[in-house]
Structure 1
Amino acid sequence: MRYLRVVWRYPAITSTVLVLGSVLLLLALGSPTVGQVIAIGYVAVFVTWTLARMVRDVLRGHVGLDILAVVAMVATLAVGEYIASLIIVLMLSGGEALEDFAGRRARRDLSALLDRSPRIAHVLVAAQLAESDEVTDLPVDEVTVGDVLLIRPAEIVPVDGVLLTESGTFDESSLTGESMPVTREAGGEVLSGAINGSRAVRIRAVRRSADSQYQQIVALVHAAEDSHAPVVRLADRFAVPFTAVSLVLASTAWAISGEATRFAEVLVLATPCPLLIAAPVAFLGGLSRAAKAGVIMKGGAVIEQIARVRAAAFDKTGTLTQGRPELVDIRTANAFAPDELLQLAASAEQYSTHVLAEGIRRAAESRGLELRGATEAREEATNGVVADIDGREVVVGKPAYVAALAPDTVRATLDSSQAAAYVAVDGRFAGVLVLADHPRREAAAVVSWLRAHEVDRIVMLTGDVGTTAQSVGHQVGIAEVHAELLPPEKVALAATLQPRPIMMVGDGVNDAPVLAAADIGVAMGAKGATAAGDAADIVILVDSLEKLVEAVSIGRHTLRVALAAIWIGIGLSVGLMLVAMTGLIPSLVGALVQEAVDLATILYALRALNGPSSPLRTETSDLSGDADPDRARQPGPRASGVT
């Protein structure tokens, strides 16, 4: 059955082998004329089919290398080398099969994500939650938010949820690349796609299947797999010069020798399989390796762009900083009590998506303050949130925004490691919530690595206030800081920054426009359905900047392998053509030798599947001199509003 599947999958190879075998048999039986007629007819059909495909590609604006193969087949037929012509057909069809095989090998890690996508969920009946494990099995698409699910040992979590069991251990390697199991406590988030440990646990669904982390990753993988055109364009840059050189060498050999067979002998060695196959195989290998490392790249063009990156722009909040601000002080005004101020602010921040809002909500919950519902709420991008709470208009946001609504607002004096969320109630200034955020421990090392590896310009683009942004920039090693920016201003700056290409790294919903506008948009730790993850070219599934270094390193390694494989194919082909110009390589032998060149090129391109380990880990000792690790661990400031 396996062989039958191969025959069915590659009909061109099967038919060519049958025709070649028949022709050789006829030659052995003393009927060369019949064999020649069969060979000419078959090759003519193949040439016609190839020409039709070429015309279709030209109409789509794509000029490739098939012209060389067509000329080689016609030339060998013209000089009577019909066996060599059949071998060229076999080489071309076999090259496509080799590409398919190598592509499936390179795509293995991507396909693993798709193959293990959960399809069934064990839903517990409400009356049985406490004392029974009786379940109703439903398709995962039918799970709704709030359903309680049973996850048995070694099963895949079907949807994102909150752990109800006291604790649980999960393997998240397919999501994050982290090989060690992680332990979650009751109330902790469990992501779909994680593999449960040795004990059954219960979770409460917080997202539907389509919105869950794993399904979003699967969608990104599909997008990456479907992006083939940029991969082909890399090889096409060599198409015209390689075709021209090959035809010149073949014509020169014909002119010098006076023998038409010499033209065919040279062109047989100029068939374009190395160029057509090397780049796709290498880029698929790079996509696969990146996915295994917890980095989803949306196509071959992204790999090429990040490999050539010369400038980097970072958002601050949640990107350079940890994005988990902690409340350190409450400063009230106009007779508001501290708990009252915090309760009103946290109630309003329920309607904000920014991580600062999460910090304020966590502080209120830790004090046992009940959050009130709002009759109306809206978020003003980059400025703050406005909500009607118990008939009172509560505004939480940046000082300038709050001051425009409450003229008695007074700016707070803050340490460099602090930031403030200003609060107004019914048009009166109510006070300030002082928070502190910590820069990521790895941020300074990542910035130093990029600067040491041909990224000539590194900037920060943030909506935070200037003093806060400058302080964080100083701690992580970024001197060029653009602060208090609105989203359109971020986009405008990203469009004008030089040198190109520029990489923009962010994590928030309001980073989506600038991520889409940059040459390479990178979303940090995107939770599947975020706008940032949708707009970005690269999604880092692990909440760590170290993976940014790994993404750049993988991109550069992949591009080097692809280009090297192409040049190996060109070099071997040109060298063999020069030898063939002397008449030392007959057409039949040349066709067989070219198959060996194809195989060598593909095997080299598969090197993109492997590469050096994470460069940031191996260079930590070198980076420590450029970035003070103690300074990097100091708390970082945080501005209010949405960054």
Structure 2
Amino acid sequence: MKLLRTVRRYPVITVSVVILAVVLGLQFSGAVTAARWLATAYVGLFIAWTIVGMVRDVLRGHIGLDILAVVAMIATLAVGEYLASLIVVLMLSGGEALEEFAGRRARRDLTALLDRSPRTAHVIQPDAGEREAVEDRAVEEVAIGDVLLVRPSEIVPVDGVLITATGSFDESSLTGESMPVTREAGSEVLSGSINGQRAVRIRATRLSADSQYQQIVALVQEAQDSRAPVVRLADRFAIPFTAVSLVLAGTAWALSGDPTRFAEVLVLATPCPLLIAAPVAFLGGLSRAAKTGVIMKSGAVIEQLARVRSVAFDKTGTLTEGRPDLVAVRPAGGFTADEVLQFAASAEQYSSHVLAAGIRRAAVTRGLTLLTTDDASEVATNGVEATFGGRRVVVGKPAYVAALAPDTTRAALGPGEAAAYVAIDGRFAGTLVLADDPRPESADVVTWLGDNGVERIAMLTGDALPTATSIARDVGIEEVHAEILPGAKVELARGMAPRPVMMVGDGVNDAPVLAASDVGVAMGAKGATAAGDAADVVILVDSLERIVDAVAIGRHTLRVALTAIWIGIGLSVGLMLVAMTGVIPAVAGALTQELVDLATILYALRALGGPPAGFGERTTASRKHDAVPR
């Protein structure tokens, strides 16, 4: 089955191998004329097909190496070297197959994200009598207030409130939580989450375009479409290598007066070493990175990583541990600490913000009972509102809470501290202070990047400025952009220079900026998040040190790819100079070119044995050294 799939996927290679075998069989049986006509007809069709593709590429402003192969095939046919022309066809189609394989890997993860977007909703018809009627509609046609049936293992189509008593949902693509979560009646259910083993009903609270998952998909798609394409590495050598090859072949023809000499030289100039070397090296780099827990989604990403000159970090969960704990409750006048914490933790049951878990843990630890409600809503990145027994509770950022409670006052925070502000019934009720310490390796990572060619390092975060500044100071970052929404992160990343720009984040709100950056890196160790779907690189190990490994592997891989290309060029030019004397027949030259291919491939495979940088060992050793009393 696997062989059949390969044959169907690469029909040109399959047909070329079959035609070559038939031509050899005809030639050995004495039917030389039939062999020549079959080879000429097939190669002629391949040339015409290649020329059509070249014209399309030129119209799009792209000039590649195919012109050299076309000239070589035409020349070998013109002088009767049809076996050599078939070998050139086989080499060229093999190189294109390698490129297609790398491109398919590059598109796979983003395609999975977009394909997973819900498209159909089962709407329960009102006033249908005793027998329930269900109508299937496109998600774009679902209205607010519609009651939807979500069957087992189906994707929730739009944001809604659970009507069924309880339900279990897989929210890993939204929150990174790998275990299913149980929701009670009245709880919010987000689009993109997967229903468990029993059918549930929800009431739509947002239109499709406004729902969580569709917004993420739209932003990711927009950012991907707006990003400039990366030029294939080998194409940068296309024009000079083509010119040198044609000059050498033309010179050999002119000096010898024999047009066969032109073909003999040119078959040694076929571009396969250039087409194959970079993809093989990049695939080796992809494999090497995967062994260190770094998943890179394409060879083009490796090249961008190798050239990174600016880096932007999210704060929470990226530079910090991402598990903030409550360290203080500061109630305002008229409220007690337990009252503020109980109401805040109850409201935070309906929030996916990183601070919410720490607040809920603290309330449970203190033995406080969490209240429930069917009136709760979250404004992404700002805060959550809920009503409990007629009391309206708001928890979130200072600006968001102050808009509803004008007497809100900002808290004085210490290093590494963050604050959630609480308002009850329109009055400022107090502040919850949480501490999220920097990762132990964050400062070393920032220092390494600065010492190894990264000219600009910034922090882009939605957290408050005092907290962001404190963490940035601890890890060695001077440029801080705080209290910004996902859209502003995208604009800042797009405007950063010098380029390429690498953005490192972990949360669902980081997905758009990760997709918009030249290289998006997701800290995905805690689950498959939307950030991981949007990113070019996913770190599967919960350590920021893998950022250094990714950059080091990218640089090593690019060096190997460039060296392999230069080996191919050097050997090809050297053999062409020899072929100018007429000592290498065309068929022998085409086969010799296969040896050049082999040499470049073997060298390109050195990317499999490249670093990781060994950064983790060095930083561990340095920390031990620093701990020794002086």
Same fold (TM over 0.5): yes
1:483 partner letter: A
Distance 1:403-1:66 versus aligned 2 partners, 3 A rule? closer
Partners of 2:52 and 2:301 lie apart in 1 by 31
Tell me the residue number matched to 1:418.
Answer: 417
1:19 aligns with 2:23: yes
Classify the secondary structure of the residue corresponding to 1:44. Answer: helix
Task: Output the CA distance in 1 between the equivalents of 2:245 and 2:323.
Answer: 61
- The verdict on how the C-alpha distance between 1:275 and 1:296 changes in structure 2, with shifts beyond 3 A counting, is same
Q: How many residues align?
A: 526
Q: Displacement, 1:526?
A: 6.5
Preserved CA contact (<8 Å) 2:325 2:359: yes
The aligned counterpart of 2:349 is 350
Q: Distance in 2 between matches of 1:41 and 1:414?
A: 79
Alignment of 1:173-252 (within 5 A): 233-252=232-251
Shift in Å at residue 496 of structure 1?
2.4
Alignment of 1:120-199 (within 5 A): none
Q: TM-score, normalised by structure 2?
A: 0.74
1:634 counterpart residue number: none
Sequence identity (%): 67
Correspondence 1:368 to 2:372 = no
Q: Distance in 1 between matches of 2:592 and 2:385?
A: 73
Which amino acid in 1 is paired with 2:81?
Answer: E
Amino acid at match of 1:386: E
The residue that corresponds to 2:159 in the other structure is none
Does residue 272 (structure 1) correspond to residue 271 (structure 2)? The answer is: yes
Task: Show the counterpart of 1:47.
Answer: 47
Q: Is the Cα contact below 8 Å between 1:23 and 1:39 reproduced in 2? A: no
- For 2:85, the equivalent position in structure 1 comes to 85
CA separation in 2, counterparts of 1:610 and 1:209? 43
List per-residue Cα deviations over 1:348-401 (Å, max 9, x = no partner).
112222111111011112223222223433333443222222211111123343
Q: Mark the CA change 1:484 to 1:629 in structure 2 (over 3 Å): closer, same or farther.
A: farther
- Residue 404 of structure 1 corresponds to 403
Stretches of structure 2 that go unaligned for 5 or more consecutive residues are 113-150, 156-168, 181-192, 198-216
User: Residue 58 of structure 1: CA displacement?
Assistant: 4.8
Q: Distance in 2 between matches of 1:591 and 1:565?
A: 19
Q: More displaced, 67-76 or 5-14?
A: 5-14
The match for 1:138 is none
The separation in 2 between residues aligned to 1:312 and 1:527, in whole angstroms, is 22
SS at match of 1:458: strand
Matches of 2:171 and 2:473 in 1, distance apart? Answer: 38
SS of 1:619's equivalent in the other structure is helix
What are the residue-to-residue correspondences of 1:499-538 with 2, within 5 Å? 499-525=498-524, 530-538=529-537
Determine if contact 1:533/1:539 at 8 Å carries over to the other structure: yes
Q: Report if aligned partners of 1:445, 1:624 keep a CA contact under 8 Å in 2.
A: no
- Deviation string, structure 1 residues 269-303 (Cα, Å, up to 9, x no partner): 01111122222222233333333433333323322
SS of corresponding position for 1:279: helix
Looking at structure 2, the residues matched to 404 and 443 of structure 1 have their Cα atoms a distance apart, in angstroms, of 35
Aligned counterparts of 1:575 and 1:405: Cα–Cα separation in 2: 77
Answer whether contact 2:246 2:266 (CA < 8 A) is retained.
yes
Query: Contact 1:230/1:301 (CA < 8 Å) preserved in 2?
Result: no
Residues 58 and 24 of structure 1: is their aligned pair in 2 closer, same or farther, counting only changes over 3 Å? farther
Match of 2:579 in 1: 580
Give the superposed CA RMSD.
3.8
Q: Which amino acid aligns with 1:602?
A: I
- Structure 2 residue matching 1:328: 3-state secondary structure: strand
1:485 Cα deviation (Å)? Answer: 2.8
Cα distance, 1:207 vs structure 2: 5.4
SS of equivalent residue, structure 2 residue 555: helix
Distance 1:320 1:59 in 2: 46
TM-score w.r.t. length of structure 1:
0.72
Give 3-state SS (helix, strand or coil) of 2:375's partner. Answer: strand
8 Å CA contact retained: 2:281, 2:560: yes
In structure 1, the residue matched to 2:605 is 606
Match for residue 147 of structure 2?
none
Q: Cα gap change, 1:86/1:464 in structure 2, threshold over 3 Å: closer, same or farther?
A: closer
Q: Counterpart amino acid of 2:366?
A: R
Matched, 1:70 2:70: yes
Q: Unaligned stretches of 5+ in structure 1? A: 115-140, 146-158, 163-187, 193-205, 211-218, 631-643
Query: What is residue 187 of structure 2 aligned with on the other side?
Result: none
Give the whole-Å Cα distance in 2 for the aligned partners of 1:496 and 1:57: 30
Contact 1:23 1:38 in 2 (8 A): no
Q: What is the deviation of 1:621? A: 6.0
Query: Which residue in 1 is equivalent to 2:377?
Result: 378
Q: Take 2:492 and 2:411, find their aligned partners in 1: how far apart are those partners?
A: 30
SS of the residue corresponding to residue 269 of structure 2 reads: coil
Range 343-352 or range 80-89, more displaced: 80-89
Map 1:305-454 → 2, pairs under 5 A: 305-454=304-453
Q: Could you tell me whether the CA contact under 8 Å between 1:313 and 1:504 is conserved in 2? A: yes
Judge conservation of contact 1:47–1:73 (CA < 8 Å) in 2: yes
